[in-house]
Structure 1
Amino acid sequence: MTKTEIEDRIKELKMDYIRIQNDLDKLESVGGNVTNAEKQLKQLETELSELNKALAKTSK
């Protein structure tokens, strides 16, 4: 991936993260099952971490 592609993907993931976090907050407030949302957030965190590492390598 190019630096621009990595940066674009990070932006997409951050938007998804915010959306899922908001959904999670709503589910918690009504006593819903939050397990799936928590798993999705964890996956996003992992992918973001990997992309940030890749971005750091391209910046060198």
Structure 2
Amino acid sequence: MSRQILATGATGTVGREVVRLFYDEGYHIKAAVRNLKNIAVYHRLSRMLVIQHKVS
């Protein structure tokens, strides 16, 4: 069974580091982001799913 986390704030300063730590430990990451243009830092991560959400 694979280990997974849902990360909110994954494109922020702290969130990027947290996602990297979990990714390096073998986790599959689901990241909820408000703006897809901020996900360029993750373009090489194969175990990551990015979901765009709107805050109202």
Q: Same fold (TM over 0.5)?
A: no
Higher relative contact order (CA 8 A, sep 6+): 1
Higher strand fraction (1 or 2): 2
Larger Rg: 1
Normalised to the residue count of structure 2, the TM-score between the two structures is 0.33
Normalised to the residue count of structure 1, the TM-score between the two structures is 0.31
Higher helix fraction (1 or 2): 1
